[in-house]
């Protein structure tokens, strides 16, 4: 019924100071790149709450890109390191849920790196295209393995939180 080729839908969180400016620069330089990343401007990559990412996946996104200033170049000094730590935890959780690593990407792009951002978008779009649609809801509903993974994750967390007597 669906004759059109699969076009991945990716949500991109771009920090105001580096990556959004990189996107501006890619625009003024007329660099052509894949139109699949739909962007949200946030002040800092540190603003990206992991639940935003989950929300995007739950509502039909096939991938999420978080882009910020290079480590050591954050407009807010160190907040991109916090984004980096959150990203590691988020990826761990998503992996446990059975999601492919390529569907979530942390990309550093300075205000001067329009080409870097454009190349990263192109690469990610191709990777997600190869994986196919995420179909989060269907996969979760049909795949017993994922339910088990979630239960195991909850167990792991409970164990980790337990204070030894």
Partner 1 sequence: MSERVGVYICHCGSNIAGKVDVVGLAEWAAENLEGVVVARDYKFMCSSLGQELIAEDIQKEGLTRVVVGACSPHLHEKTFRRACANAGLNPYLCQMASLREQVSWVTEDKALADAKSRALIAGAVGRVQLQEPLQPTEVPVNPNTLVVGGGIAGIQAALELADAGRHVFLVEREPSIGGHMAQFDKTFPTLDCSACILTPKMSDVGQHDDITLLSYAEVEEVKGFVGSFEVRVRKKARYVKEDLCTGCGICIEKCPWKVKDEVFEVGLGTRKAIYRPFPQAVPKYPVIDRENCAYFKKGTCKACEKFCPTDAIDFEQQDTFLDLAVGNIILATGFDPFDAGRIPQYSYGKLPNVFTSLEFERMCNAAGPTGGRIVLRDGVTEPQSIGIVHCVGSRDQNYNPYCSAVCCMAALKFGHLVKEKTSAEVTSFYIDLRAPAKGYEEFYDRLLGEGMKFVRGRVGDISDAARLPGEKGKLIVQVEDTLLGRQRRIPVDMVVLMTALEPRADAHQVGLKFGISCSMEGWFTERHPKLDPVATMTDGIFLAGTCQGPKDIPASVSQGAAAAARIQGMITKGTVLIEPVVATIDAERCSGCRICNNLCPFNAIEFLEAEGVSHINQALCKGCGTCVAACPAQAITGAHFTNEQISAEILGLLYDARQPVAEPAAV
Q: Where does this chain bind partner 1 (CB under 8 A)?
A: 7, 9, 11, 17-18, 20-21, 23-24, 26-28, 30-33, 35-36, 38-44, 46-52, 55-56, 59-61, 69, 72-73, 75-79, 82-83, 86, 110-113, 118, 137, 141
The rounded distance, in Å, linking the Cα atoms of 65 and 14 is 8
27 vs 156 by CB, closer to partner 1: 27
The DSSP secondary structure of 80-120, one letter per residue, reads: HHHHHHHHHHHHHHHHHTT--GGGEEEEE--TT-HHHHHHH
Partners of residue 42 on adjacent β-strands: 15
CB of 162 to partner 1, least distance (A): 19
CB of 74 to partner 1, least distance (A): 8
CB of 108 to partner 1, least distance (A): 13
Q: Which two tokens stand for residue 140?
A: 């979760």
């Amino acid at each position: 019924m669906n004759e059109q080729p699969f076009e991945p839908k990716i949500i991109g969180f771009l920090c105001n100071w580096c990556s959004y400016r990189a996107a501006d620069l890619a625009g003024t330089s007329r660099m052509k790149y894949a139109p699949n990343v739909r962007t949200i401007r946030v002040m800092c990559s540190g603003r990206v709450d992991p639940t935003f990412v989950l929300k995007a996946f739950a509502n039909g996104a096939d991938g999420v890109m978080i882009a910020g200033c290079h480590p050591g170049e954050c407009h807010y000094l160190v907040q991109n390191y916090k984004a980096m730590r959150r990203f590691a935890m988020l990826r761990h959780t998503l992996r446990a849920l059975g999601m492919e690593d390529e569907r979530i990407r942390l990309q550093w792009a300075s205000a001067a790196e329009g080409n870097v951002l454009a190349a990263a978008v192109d690469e990610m779009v191709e990777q997600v295209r190869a994986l196919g649609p995420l179909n989060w809801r269907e996969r979760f509903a049909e795949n017993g393995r994922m339910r088990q993974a979630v239960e195991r994750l909850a167990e792991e967390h409970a164990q980790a939180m337990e204070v030894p007597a």
